[in-house]
Structure 1
Amino acid sequence: METTTIEAATHQLPQAIEPRNPGMDLDLDWVRAVQVNTSAVERRAATLPGRRSVKKDYQAAWLCRAISLIDLTTLSGDDTEGRVKRLCAKAKQPVNPALLADLDLPDLTTGAICVYHDMIETAVQALEGTGIPVAAVSTGFPAGLSPFHLRVEEIRQSVAAGASEIDIVITRRHVLQGNWQALYDEMKAFREACGDAHVKAILATGELGTLRNVARASLVCMMAGADFIKTSTGKESVNATLPVSLTMIRAIRDYYDRTGYRVGYKPAGGISKAKDALVYLALMKDELGDRWLQPDLFRFGASSLLGDIERQLEHHLTGRYSAGYRHAMG
């Protein structure tokens, strides 16, 4: 690819340095050929927590990297402008400044803030000048069952309001019925409505039935131009798991090997402990390499995770665990 083409395809997000995935024509032969050895994936996933262990300064460094990858999120029916402003303040200063000074990371921030459409303007104003992107959930989140034209318009309205990342939800029945053309067309329309904003495709993997469906849905969404694929809305009964993550990550690797375009990954829901974040970081490093440990290619969809990481960093520096209430989100 010529340099001018790369520059034209690269999005303007502060941390984005890759050419965007432009998508490709739907290749049904490739999709239908995808198989997943579920027992092998589950065995591999079961070994992950014990395969990699980082301690002391190395663990602190990995945890700081995890902070930079968090989409700090509030998606509650009782969200208020005050809550969102406090969350944005936490994104700008995720850890006690005295601790950050000791770690020599005074400018550390989270990867993004993720909110509903109504709170985009509040978040954008609160984060002005910081370079921290605002992500908005869209397309009838979390079920994704509102009329199609309204879902597309919701994306356009969120981009117009200032969101630079859009987390969309796919129609699960397209996957369950094997209607890959419908899923491709839907995802392509969502990508086009996003314009310059990056689009994260939420698969709601806990509702897709099988790992094979997860792998095929991942591939179709990438073919349609998804910048990220994401496990869950956080509202399903089963959210991010290691077998699902391994399946999606290997689909990303296959897509990169075939097309040369890197697609990001976002596990969301149920990741609340620092030790879990370390496992996911190790998984990404093992399967995709260091390049995928940057904010433009990897995010955690989380809120409570940050509090536990801050506690672990304080313990690393002082030798004492603090109470959880000392690390509130706002």
Structure 2
Amino acid sequence: MLSAFPADPAEVTSSEAALSRFLHGLPGIDKVGAESRAAMLGTRSIKKDAKAFAIDLAISMIDLTTLEGADTPGKVRALCAKALHPDPSAPDAPRPAAICVYPDLVGIAKEALGKAPVNVASVATAFPSGRAALDIKLADVAQAVQAGADEIDMVIDRGAFLSGRYQQVFDEIVAVKAACGSAHLKVILETGELSTYDNVRRASWLAMLAGADFIKTSTGKVGTNATLPVTLIMMEAVRDFRAATGRQIGVKPAGGIRTTKDAIKYLVLVNETAGPDWLTPDWFRLGASSLLNDLLMQRQKLATGRYSGPDYVTVD
């Protein structure tokens, strides 16, 4: 837990020096301890009824994602159809939380989803590199918001962060948050490029202080994406941030989460680290594309006692 946090958070962000002093004053991460705890939580076994609940919960937390240069309106419509009816043979199957696409495809997704309770998320701010002038990043956000995006996934400038230009990163997040209007803001830290667990904690706090609604691990476009130890550190950060400020922030691991076993490990970690308040799509998401297929197949296995053939789910 964070032992000392000012009554007025503005004290922390009043200057570059104050921000740097606060971020570098955060408790250091015990690398061995964090990795050992994450590994231990990953070995927890759950019984059949709890597994069925966990599978449905994980499905409801998915941001069903397509972020490829070859994306087409047809592919996005197909993905939306899958979100609306994940398993046509099981009408009680929950729907994913959101569809995540590039800004120019937001309108297609909104039209395809209609009034269904599935959000449209859009990456922005020169995703995935984050290397563009601020006015270009804000135009990227504006395009997505004007097209109807419910959520914006921005990516921080890792070069600025790693160079210690924390005020620049902070100011960009503040500006993007303002440009989002009523859309929720997820701030992607790209933890695979942050080098150390201490930097993951610092970037988490920096994003939360700047107004993030969610902090997200990864773009899915680098060699190392979501991991259990990194998500553990981020969950500790949102837990401590709520204790210090009273404001709850969501977490979204993204990239490389492909199996039901993986998803359940994350749910156990969330529950054991921050508690059940975060076990809802409002506060925890799983950024994935192929994960939904495995969850649906495991769901059907629990219901019928047998595995389906390879054509049971659509191939994305």
Is TM > 0.5 for Structure 1 vs Structure 2? yes
Output one character per residue of 1:69-110: Cα deviation in whole Å (capped at 9) or x when no partner: 0000011111111111110011111123x334xxxx36x211
| Mapped pair 1:39 → 2:25 | no
CA positional deviation for 1:290:
1.1
Output one character per residue of 1:213-251: Cα deviation in whole Å (capped at 9) or x when no partner: 110011001000000000000001000001111111111
Contact 1:99 1:317 (8 Å CA) reproduced:
no
CA positional deviation for 1:287:
1.0
| Mapped pair 1:58 → 2:44 | no
Structure 2 Cα separation of the partners of residues 307 and 271 of structure 1: 12
Contact 2:38 2:269 (8 Å CA) reproduced:
no
Q: Supply the AA of the counterpart residue of 1:146.
A: A
| Mapped pair 1:90 → 2:82 | yes
Partner SS, residue 82 of structure 1 = helix
| Mapped pair 1:293 → 2:276 | no
* Structure 2 match to 1:261: 247
Contact 1:69 1:300 (8 Å CA) reproduced:
yes
Paired residues for 1:290-329 under 5 Å = 290-329=276-315
Pairing partner for 1:70 from 62, 74, 90: 62
Pairing partner for 2:213 from 227, 231, 242: 227
Q: Supply the AA of the counterpart residue of 1:256.
A: R
Q: Supply the AA of the counterpart residue of 2:174.
A: K
Structure 2 Cα separation of the partners of residues 320 and 217 of structure 1: 45
* Structure 1 match to 2:6: none
| Mapped pair 1:49 → 2:42 | yes
* Structure 2 match to 1:279: 265
CA positional deviation for 1:324:
3.4
Structure 1 Cα separation of the partners of residues 57 and 106 of structure 2: 26
Q: Supply the AA of the counterpart residue of 1:46.
A: A
Partner SS, residue 327 of structure 1 = coil
Partner SS, residue 326 of structure 1 = coil
| Mapped pair 1:206 → 2:198 | no
CA positional deviation for 1:320:
1.1
Q: Residues 298 and 329 (structure 1 numbering): CA distance in 2 closer, same or farther, change over 3 Å?
A: farther
| Mapped pair 1:251 → 2:242 | no
CA positional deviation for 1:300:
0.4
* Structure 2 match to 1:180: 166
Contact 1:86 1:329 (8 Å CA) reproduced:
no
Q: Residues 324 and 259 (structure 1 numbering): CA distance in 2 closer, same or farther, change over 3 Å?
A: farther
CA positional deviation for 1:174:
2.0
Over aligned residues, Cα RMSD in angstroms?
A: 1.4
Structure 1 Cα separation of the partners of residues 87 and 154 of structure 2: 30
Consecutive unaligned residues of structure 2, counting only runs of 5 or more, are: 1-8
Contact 1:90 1:329 (8 Å CA) reproduced:
no
* Structure 2 match to 1:126: 112
Structure 1 Cα separation of the partners of residues 310 and 23 of structure 2: 46
- The size of the alignment, in residue pairs, is 301
Partner SS, residue 287 of structure 2 = strand
Q: Supply the AA of the counterpart residue of 1:83.
A: K
Q: Supply the AA of the counterpart residue of 1:267.
A: P
Q: Supply the AA of the counterpart residue of 2:90.
A: L
Partner SS, residue 90 of structure 2 = helix
State TM-score, norm by structure 1: 0.88
Structure 2 Cα separation of the partners of residues 260 and 64 of structure 1: 29
Q: Supply the AA of the counterpart residue of 1:93.
A: H
Structure 2 Cα separation of the partners of residues 39 and 225 of structure 1: 31
Partner SS, residue 42 of structure 2 = helix
Structure 2 Cα separation of the partners of residues 30 and 44 of structure 1: 26
Structure 2 Cα separation of the partners of residues 155 and 317 of structure 1: 42
Paired residues for 1:161-172 under 5 Å = 161-172=147-158
Runs of 4+ in 1 over 2 A off after TM superposition: 27-30, 323-326
Structure 1 Cα separation of the partners of residues 57 and 310 of structure 2: 21
CA positional deviation for 1:329:
4.8
Q: Residues 174 and 324 (structure 1 numbering): CA distance in 2 closer, same or farther, change over 3 Å?
A: farther
Output one character per residue of 1:189-226: Cα deviation in whole Å (capped at 9) or x when no partner: 11111111100000000001101011001100100000
Contact 1:311 1:324 (8 Å CA) reproduced:
no
CA positional deviation for 1:325:
3.5
Paired residues for 1:78-157 under 5 Å = 78-96=70-88, 98-100=89-91, 105=92, 108-157=94-143
